[in-house]
Amino acid sequence: MTIEHLDLEYSAEDIRDFIEAAVATRGSENRPRFYAITGSHIYGFDSAESDIDVRGLHMAPAESYAYLDTPAEEVTVNMDGTTEGFEEYAEVDLRSYELKKFAQFLQSANYNIVELVFEAPTVMNGMPLEMDALQDLIREFLPMNVPHAYLGMAKSNYYKHLDPEKAEGYDPRAKKFLYVYRGLLGAQYVVDYGDIEADIFELANAVDGGDAELVEDLVAQKRSGDSTAVPDALEERARDAITGQFNAIGEFPTPDKSGYREALDNWMRKVRA
């Protein structure tokens, strides 16, 4: 998927201008390098109300880590309301990680960052050779503990928002069911295919037991206005599918990251060179 396939009110050029203004600010030596659209737009259930989530990485000078005031780990814009000066891009949420922080997320097999590398439509890529090499590097070590991360996300969202025994935070909207179901399907997909897939429709069709029709109905419910709980019949189907998928997940492979940290370090050295 490319950004041209997304129905956005901003062009790729608009978003690149936004990134440059936000990350390479006056007095900063940050160099924006790689950015892509993530969130619901790559999960397959974006709606008219969905923000545009832009994530990526920038580089500060490597020598700046030698001083007491080390570079900020991340730059954020419009994450908690509209940032002053960026009203024109109020619908765009930006989170830019310094290369070291980005690699730390990769080292911990953070599924959000792994999806960013593999699945997200790119809006800026000043290092295509390096990003292709990073994909090959990660694939060599998959599944690592990426399935565990997906499963953890699914369980966390379920107990936070979909457990009827917990009044605080209980929020049985279509979006919440989709997040949980996507996490369970994503965990199994990594184990089955040794690869990454973010789109819930693709996951439902690829993973044994996945219910593509349920996904279609939940997404339609979300897009019709996701301000109320799902109808009882749809909720029952969603809970049955979530329980069934959870029960179907077998024992995950023991995470093996031997050599992964060193490989990431070597990749970072080449990127900073």
Query: Quick one: pLDDT at residue 26?
Result: 63
Per-residue pLDDT reduced to its tens digit, 76-135 = 999 989 999 999 999 999 999 999 999 999 999 999 999 999 999 999 999 999 999 999
Where helices occur in the chain by DSSP H, the ranges are: 12-23, 40-43, 99-107, 111-118, 128-141, 146-157, 174-193, 200-206, 212-223, 232-248, 260-272
Residue 173: which of 45, 80, 51 has the closest Cα? 45
Query: Scanning the structure block, which residue is given the tokens 């960013």?
Result: 116
pLDDT score, position 83: 94
Cα–Cα distance for residue pair 141/160, rounded to 1 Å: 31
Helix (H, G, I), strand (E, B) or coil at 140: helix
| CB distance 121 to 130 below 8 Å | no
Report pLDDT for 19.
96
Query: Cα(90)–Cα(79) distance, rounded to whole angstroms?
Result: 10
pLDDT tens by residue, 194-251 = 999 999 999 999 999 999 999 999 999 999 986 778 999 999 999 999 999 999 999 9
Asked if 1 and 42 touch (Cβ cutoff 8 Å), the reply is yes
CA distance 3 to 178: 23
- Residue 255, phi then psi, degrees to nearest 5: -55, 130
pLDDT 10s digits, 1-34 = 667 777 788 889 999 999 999 998 766 789 999 9
* DSSP element (H, E) containing 235: helix 232-248
CA 95 → CA 32, 116, 218, distances in Å? Answer: 12, 12, 28
| pLDDT value, residue 228 | 77
> Can you list the domains of the chain with their CATH numbers?
3-141 (3.30.460.10), 146-248 (no CATH)
259 Rama sector, left if φ>0, alpha if ψ -120 to 50, beta otherwise: left
Torsion sign, CA atoms 126, 129, 133, 136: positive
What is the average pLDDT score of the chain? 93
Question: For the chain, what percentages of helix, strand and coil (3-state, to nearest 5) are there?
Answer: 55, 10, 35
CA distance 34 to 15: 12
3-class SS at 12?
helix
pTM listed for this prediction: 0.92
User: How many Å apart are CA 99 and CA 128, to the nearest integer?
Assistant: 15
- CA-closest candidate to residue 99, choices 65, 133, 132, 149: 65
